[in-house]
Amino acid sequence: MNELLIHLPLYIGLPLFMILVALLAAGIYLLSRKFIEPHLKKEHERVGRVLFRTSASLLALILSLTFANQRVDYIKIQNSLEAEAAQIVDIVMDLKMYKSLEATKIQEEMKSYILYTLEDGWESILIDPFNSRPVVQYSKIYESIHYLEPVNPMQIALKESMLADIDEVSDFLQVRLYSAQKDPLNLIYTTLFGILAVMILFSVYAPNKLNLLFVSVYNVFLGLVLYFVLMMGNPLRGPLQIKPIPFELLKYTIELNESRNQ
């Protein structure tokens, strides 16, 4: 189900998932009612109502906390892209000031790193993170900067600055690498079990049009929250895939400067 939702656009996947959650919950409710109705007594109804309210609130609380945590992680990746782009700008400026043949070559490698990040579309990071094109290219840049041989105090200072910046780039790159390995399936299992328990407890209420409407609205809302939690749990793919907008700006800036220098 998770893979199917990832490959569906938002306007199809979201309503489809909400409807499926609502139908699943309604089916559990009606089936549970059918089995417990012959044995249902007044004391059972009182206990069921109390437990239903408690369980429904607990399920909503778990989902809301999970949503908040996933949103923090999602924004963390967006912020890391912006910070990484800023560090790359600093490195490129230092390389220009360094003024050597080796520094010029590293500038070309930096350009390739930006292009690989844009053209790759996160695919190689998802398939083989530590052998992906951006990571391999980063390794070349890291090595090339270390092999620079400064010949004056200015170049010494610039190399130290670039080494600090390239280390920062590594930290931001690893944010994406580790985010690609997260698996939100445990959340699905926990939520499905929660819906199962809540609907079984809700079956102490007799099924009618209004009860079905109320429980459907509740479960549609749960489906909405769960959908966004799942999609934010896959930040590098799917309808909520994070776009490398800072790198697009870098590419545009590089191309603009090259056209002016021609």
pLDDT, one tens digit per residue, over 85-98 is: 999 999 999 999 99
Which element (helix H / strand E) includes 184?
A: none
Report whether pLDDT(221) > 70: yes
Residue 236 and residue 242 in contact, taking contact as beta carbons nearer than 8 Å: yes
Residue 184 and residue 2 in contact, taking contact as beta carbons nearer than 8 Å: yes
| pLDDT value of position 46 | 84
| pLDDT value of position 262 | 59
**pLDDT tens column, 15-38:** 999 999 999 999 999 999 888 888
Q: Which of 65-69, 123-127, 139-143, 208-212 has the highest mean pLDDT?
A: 139-143
| pLDDT value of position 181 | 61
Average pLDDT over residues 168-174: 89
What's the rounded Cα separation, in Å, for the pair 251 and 257? 10
Where is pLDDT greater, at 180 or 10?
10
Average pLDDT over residues 8-20: 92
Q: Mean pLDDT of all residues in the chain? A: 86
What's the rounded Cα separation, in Å, for the pair 143 and 140? 5
CB count, 10 Å around CB of 148?
19
| pLDDT value of position 184 | 58
User: What tokens appear for 181 in the block?
Assistant: 């390995």
**pLDDT tens column, 174-217:** 888 777 665 556 777 788 888 889 999 888 888 888 989 988 99
| pLDDT value of position 121 | 62
| pLDDT value of position 243 | 85
Average pLDDT over residues 221-234: 88
* Residue in 138, 114, 136, 73 with CA at minimum distance from that of residue 244: 114
| pLDDT value of position 122 | 72
Average pLDDT over residues 97-107: 91
What's the rounded Cα separation, in Å, for the pair 108 and 94? 14
Report whether pLDDT(220) > 80: yes
- Judged by average pLDDT, the poorest of 11-20, 93-102, 245-254 is 245-254
